[in-house]
Amino acid sequence: MAEFQEVMRQYKRMCKSYPGCSDCPFRVELGWDCQPDALVEEEDFDIWETTVMEWARSHPEPIYPTLREVFNRMVNKMGGRWDDVLDKPITATLAKEFNIEPIKKEY
């Protein structure tokens, strides 16, 4: 079941990347008019699966770092020790990226 789910997940990802089906591998490589609601004939299952999974291999999903990895990179850039870094103000660039407003001090 997990393999089927992965094939279908990749199919949906592939389909979303070709609005209007203009350059879809099903149309370009196989000459099929692939509609999401169309049924695939049983004898075409292997071709269908192979097309989807080959596309997925050649179009890998971006993998982003974990928040821990991001924090570790920030710590390394800002001095290398967590205790020192946690008490330093963030940079204006980082604040802008995360839409963080500066603290308004009253004098």
Return the pLDDT at 39.
61
Low-confidence ranges of the chain (pLDDT < 50): 37
- CA distance linking residue 29 with residue 15, whole number of Å: 15
pLDDT (0 to 100) of residue 32 = 75
Return the amino acid letter for 105.
Answer: K
pLDDT in tens, 32-52: 776 554 566 777 788 889 989
Residue 13 has a pLDDT of 93
Q: So what's the pLDDT on residue 35?
A: 59
- Residue 49's CB: how many other CB atoms inside 10 A? 17
